[in-house]
């Protein structure tokens, strides 16, 4: 938005319309601006533009890093992304680490310090599928190298169409969606959510239900 009147006009619009969070990534550098931070850094006069018109909240300005490598060698920047949590209409979280850092794409990123970017190879979050020989069951393992939990790690796998009355069930996870692939394969695409603690792995198993069910199982069949 630059440093001129246009920037101030946009900030005023956000104040007047009670915007809770503005997310950007033009220059792809981790940066977070809130009222408290700007008061400390620049003084109260500029910080007043963060407060909503009529009070009751403030605008948070959040800039994120790039998903790609921007430089080589040792750097403060690293490939990453924002994960923004909204809880009951309120902005609950937008940092991997305070005060400003994005979630890292790669294991070994020194978040908040200097990272040797040339050594980053392994994704911070990985999934591995082990499918049974008959194709009717599979183990879905998600590995999380981050320092925070993944309460809803989502994975998708395509399974065979089951006989009428049977459906897929998941152990140690939640089957949140199942639908027919309209493409050439025509299988059943299953989306499974797994809770994974920090720096650990968790495995969910998807398999054919133990028996037929005359009722269509909500979120569990096709």
pLDDT value, residue 163: 80
Assess whether 87 and 149 both reside in one domain: no
| Domain span holding position 134 | 125-208
Assess whether 58 and 109 both reside in one domain: yes
Assess whether 142 and 203 both reside in one domain: yes
Assess whether 140 and 100 both reside in one domain: no
153 lies in some domain: yes
Assess whether 145 and 168 both reside in one domain: yes
Assess whether 81 and 115 both reside in one domain: yes
Backbone region of residue 191 per phi and psi (left: phi > 0; alpha: psi in -120 to 50; beta: other values):
beta
Q: Are 187 and 160 spatial neighbours (Cβ–Cβ below 8 Å)? A: yes
217 lies in some domain: no
State the total domains in the chain.
Answer: 2
Last residue of a domain, one of 101, 119, 137: 119
Assess whether 100 and 46 both reside in one domain: yes
Last residue of a domain, one of 119, 151, 186: 119
The list of the chain residues with pLDDT below 70 reads: 1-3, 37-49, 213-222
Q: Which long-range contacts (CB under 8 A, 24 or more apart) does 149-153 make?
A: 149/195, 149/196, 149/197, 149/198, 150/125, 150/194, 150/195, 150/196, 151/195, 152/193, 152/195, 153/125, 153/127, 153/193, 153/194, 153/195, 153/196, 153/202
82 lies in some domain: yes
76 lies in some domain: yes
Each residue's pLDDT tens digit, 149-193: 999 999 999 999 888 788 899 999 999 998 888 777 778 899 999
Assess whether 46 and 91 both reside in one domain: yes
CATH number of the structural domain spanning residue 165: 2.60.40
Last residue of a domain, one of 119, 146, 172: 119
90 lies in some domain: yes
Assess whether 75 and 140 both reside in one domain: no
pLDDT value, residue 167: 87
What pTM did the predictor assign? 0.82
pLDDT value, residue 45: 52
Assess whether 130 and 112 both reside in one domain: no
Assess whether 135 and 111 both reside in one domain: no
Assess whether 40 and 88 both reside in one domain: yes
């Amino acid at each position: 938005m630059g440093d001129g009147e246009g920037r101030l006009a946009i900030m005023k619009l956000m104040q007047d319309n009670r915007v809770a969070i503005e997310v950007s990534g033009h220059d792809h550098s981790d940066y977070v601006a809130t009222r408290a931070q700007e008061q400390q850094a620049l003084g109260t006069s500029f910080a007043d533009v963060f407060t909503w018109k009529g009070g009751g909240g403030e605008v948070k300005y959040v800039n994120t890093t790039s998903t790609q490598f921007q430089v080589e060698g040792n750097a403060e920047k690293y490939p990453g992304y924002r994960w923004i949590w909204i809880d009951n209409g309120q902005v609950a979280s937008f940092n991997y680490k305070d005060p400003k850092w994005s979630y890292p794409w790669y294991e070994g990123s020194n978040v908040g310090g200097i990272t040797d970017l040339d050594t980053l190879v392994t994704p911070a979050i990985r999934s591995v599928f082990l499918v049974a020989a008959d194709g009717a069951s599979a183990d879905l393992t998600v590995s999380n190298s981050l320092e925070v939990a993944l309460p809803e790690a989502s994975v998708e796998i395509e399974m065979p169409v089951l006989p009428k009355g049977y459906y897929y069930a998941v152990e140690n996870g939640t089957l949140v969606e199942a639908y027919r692939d309209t493409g050439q394969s025509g299988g059943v695409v299953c989306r499974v959510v797994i809770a994974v603690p920090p720096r650990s792995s968790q495995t969910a198993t998807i398999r054919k239900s133990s028996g037929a069910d005359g009722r269509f199982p909500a979120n569990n069949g096709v």
